[in-house]
Amino acid sequence: MDFQPVQEIFTHVISGQTLKKMVFSRPRDRAILRLEVHLFAQNGEPMVQLTRYPADNKALHQNLPPEEAPALLCGELEQNFRQCNILTTGGDCEVKVGKKSLLIHNNIREADPAPLQEHNRDKTRFLPDNKPIPFLQELGIMDREGRVIPRMRDKFKQINRFLELIDDVAGSLPTGRPLEIVDLCCGKSYLTFAVHHYFSVIKHREIHVTGVDLKADVIARCNAVAENLGLHGLTFLQGDILQYNPDFPVDMVISLHACNTATDIVLAGAVRWGCKIILSSPCCHHELAEQLECPDLSFLTGYPILRQRLCEISTDALRSRLLEALGYEVQIVEFIDPENTPKNLMIRAVKGKKPLPQEERSRRLAEYDAVCRWLHVSPTLRKLIQVEE
């Protein structure tokens, strides 16, 4: 089995310093369950840190110069693990080791280097554990002493991961005025409160966040929490997101698990309002499952489970391609760490600094429409966003 292509990927992301995190999983034996890889700075020079997690979960660290790491990591994949997930500033890559061949899904593009943290600096966690944070206490995630309640730890990790995804692109937001952020299908609003805290408390920005949801009892509860905490610039409205039309310029739209075509309503609204940043985590991809008819893919679609998964990834791929045709730079990223819930994805889109040239816009739209015809599908997002080639 030829591991040279994988070593080249390792070399590219390490030497280019675009690597954010690398996770080796699916161990061949139980001695070492997981291996994580990070870049860091030591006396101003880049270094690679390997952290191995044995069965007792006590971390074992090893530091290497960048030129030595790719070959060693390739050996780890060849001998000790069956999967590697690579997260970079330019996208992600997944490598799986089969019985006879490698399966590589490489979505890494050229990108700027990731900032290197000095060695021994604590991992960035925007909401630390064991420190009382009022909104987390009010929402039942922390107790009075600031300890995360055990059954809410996954939610706590999810919120921190979401803030990481925002922090990566927050520099694209306008400055010199208050920010306007809208959370559509906000539900219990864990992320709505977290975003308000991130910008107002951590980043010291003047901000107004609006949460919108159809359920009146949920909205009443969220408004009560905001009032109890004395939070300014945080409003919750009850209503249908399809009818929601803000009378202010919206800088960022977020949405967690908007069901089925509700995600398309979220994305279409964000585009219509000219949002700079969109973060949307879709769920319940039913629409294409009811439409897709593609003889060329019958070897997949003949199996109901595979058909459903194909429709899920096709739905989000088409959404992302349409956003790209409209001038957004789009990434599909894992919402929380690969070892927790690998299928939980998020569409993260940042509006380009310059409008796309008409010729490029037309080319992308034509490509999108051609794929839709091939799949025999008519996605809701295309209907909601009326654009011509």
Is 80 in contact with 27 (CB distance < 8 Å)?
yes
Residue at 44: amino acid letter: G
Q: Would you say 258 and 264 are in contact if contact means Cβ atoms under 8 Å apart?
A: no
Could you tell me which residues come within 8 angstroms of residue 143 by beta carbon, excluding any fewer than 6 positions away?
137, 149
Tell me the three state secondary structure of residue 191. helix
Instruction: Give the pLDDT confidence of 42-67 residue by residue, as tens digits.
Output: 877 899 999 998 876 567 889 999 99
pLDDT of res. 339: 45
Neighbours of 160 (CB within 10 A): 18
Helix (H) or strand (E) holding 225, with range, is helix 216-229
What pLDDT, on the 0 to 100 scale, is given for residue 336? 64
Q: pLDDT confidence of 258, banded at 50, 70, 90?
A: confident
Residue 99 pLDDT grade (very low, low, confident, very high; cuts 50, 70, 90): confident
Rounded CA separation 346/165 (Å): 9
pLDDT at 361 over 70: yes
Q: What is the pLDDT of residue 57?
A: 59
Whether 131 shows a pLDDT value over 80: the answer reads yes
Range of lowest pLDDT (98-102, 230-234, 250-254, 377-381): 98-102
Of 229, 382, 231, 377, nearest to 307 by C-alpha is 377
Could you give all domains of the chain from N- to C-terminal order, each with its CATH number?
4-106 (no CATH), 134-384 (3.40.50.150)
Residue 159: pLDDT over 60: yes
Nearest Cα neighbor of 186 from 284, 256, 271 is 256
Give the pLDDT mean for 332-348: 68
The pLDDT tens digits for 196-239 are 999 999 999 999 999 999 999 999 999 999 999 999 999 999 99
At 260, is the pLDDT very low, low, confident or very high (cuts 50, 70, 90)?
confident
Going by pLDDT thresholds of 50, 70 and 90, the confidence category of residue 132 is very high
Cα–Cα distances (Å) from 326 to 138, 321, 347, 354, 356, in that order, read 40, 9, 15, 11, 8
Which one-letter DSSP state was computed for residue 253?
E
Angstrom distance (rounded) from CA 10 to CA 1: 17
